[in-house]
A and B are shown apart, each in its own frame.
Chain A
């Protein structure tokens, strides 16, 4: 007498010996599926909250970055209208982007047409593709002259993506400060790029020489020129990555055109 009914097949399956090949594969598949659903569900549901957390932290870091630059807090206190403006720039044109504002930036960047593929020779920061638009922060003094420009930068570190904010003085030659907003480097070695003491050493470094060549570097050891910051012992790969990320974003494929335009007073 054959067992019938909706659960018959299921019961027959459960009754199989545990070590039969069919059951082994079926159990592996079922467990994997259940776990995949749990992980995907949790990630998808919680992503908006995490994104909000990260945005809030970014804002906080931006404020602390500005506060860390000498004289900046006084300057902010003096200017009445908040002074810091958020601008979306077109990296191709080296000018403020037309038709894209901070609110519509995410939508614009969801479109693959607004990204530029980088050739391996250009792609020293390990990005693969670079967005054509970026959101930067500009601080002007009372006369409207550029005081400070804050540029978000990113690139491949040793264990994952490093994201940072780089502040440049109004002369567009000197770094005013740097802060790392996200990194997954080796704790105790590469992760020391998060240390305030190391980040403070960026202040006052020149990234360009008199001939206009890009010169910034994280030194292998102690810094010996006004273009270098001290290297991090035991974290050569992370140090090199920081050099490349800063150079990429200050170079012709990064904010180069924008910086050029600012130096010429076109902003």
Chain B
């Protein structure tokens, strides 16, 4: 039961992207198409789960002075291995993801989970937590990726659903959706929607604008 909570909490309630606003760079860059978003999601989830497992396994013996370096080395090695696997078996997609797979190393989400959770918990809960966070990240990527591909090209996973005007249909593709800013807009709208439904996520206002009294006539 506790594991189930660990797994489901990061999906929406503690979502790494929409609540913690982590891992944005890759989330914006790889979501022009659904297939790249899916590949990136799987790659990140695998790296996250494996690194959580490795860090949690040696958690009692990581010297405090070099703990970040040890974690980053583990994450970086796993990322290289995943990148090599993608280049071998998913050559086409790995070409399109270019540097973003390698940049998983610097994704705050991975280091954040190993540092805050895996370092102080046994392997099984750590992996479940990592999986939950990976799925939370994937959920947002898939939503944004689908919207951008569908609205931007009228297709999903390369299958044409709405015939565009170029092909003699009625659908005028929104080219903006294929550009980076649209990912910001969609993400902003998504955060707004989630926080409107789950009001507990709304952060307290940090500053109050100073009240200026109108000068009397």
Q: Please give the residue numbers on chain A whose beta carbons come within 8 Å of chain B beta carbons, in ascending order.
A: 14, 18-19, 23-24, 27-28, 31-32, 35-36, 38-39, 42-43, 46, 49-50, 53-54, 57, 187
A28-B63, A43-B84, A53-B88 given. 6 additional CB < 8 A pairs?
A24-B66, A27-B66, A31-B70, A38-B78, A42-B84, A46-B84
B98 lies within 8 A of chain A by Cβ: yes
Closest CB in chain B relative to A53 CB, distance in Å: 4
Q: How far is the CA of A262 from the CA of B196 in the complex (A)?
A: 73
CB distance from A59 to the nearest CB of B (A): 13
Chain B, 64-113, CB within 8 A of any chain A CB: 64-66, 69-70, 73-74, 76-78, 80-81, 84-85, 87-89, 91, 98-99
The residues of A that contact B70 with a CB separation of less than 8 Å are 27-28, 31
Pair A18/B87 contact, Cβ less than 8 Å = no
Instruction: Determine whether the beta carbon of A39 is less than 8 Å from that of B80.
Output: yes
Closest 3 CB pairs of A and B: A35-B77, A53-B91, A49-B88
What's the least CB distance linking B115 to chain A, in Å? 15
Total residues of chain B contacting the partner, CB 8 A: 25
Closest B residue to A18 using CB positions? B63
The answer to whether A28 and B66 have CB atoms under 8 Å apart is yes
Contacts of B89 in A (CB 8 A): 49
Cβ contacts under 8 Å, B91 to chain A: 50, 53-54, 57
Q: Is the CB of B77 within 8 A of A39?
A: yes
The CA of A229 and the CA of B186, in the complex, are separated in Å by 39
Taking CB atoms, residues of chain B closer than 8 Å to A24 are 63, 65-66
Q: Does B19 contact A (CB under 8 A)?
A: no
Residues on the B chain within 8 Å of A27, using CB: 58, 61-63, 66, 70
A46 B87 Cβ-Cβ under 8 A: yes
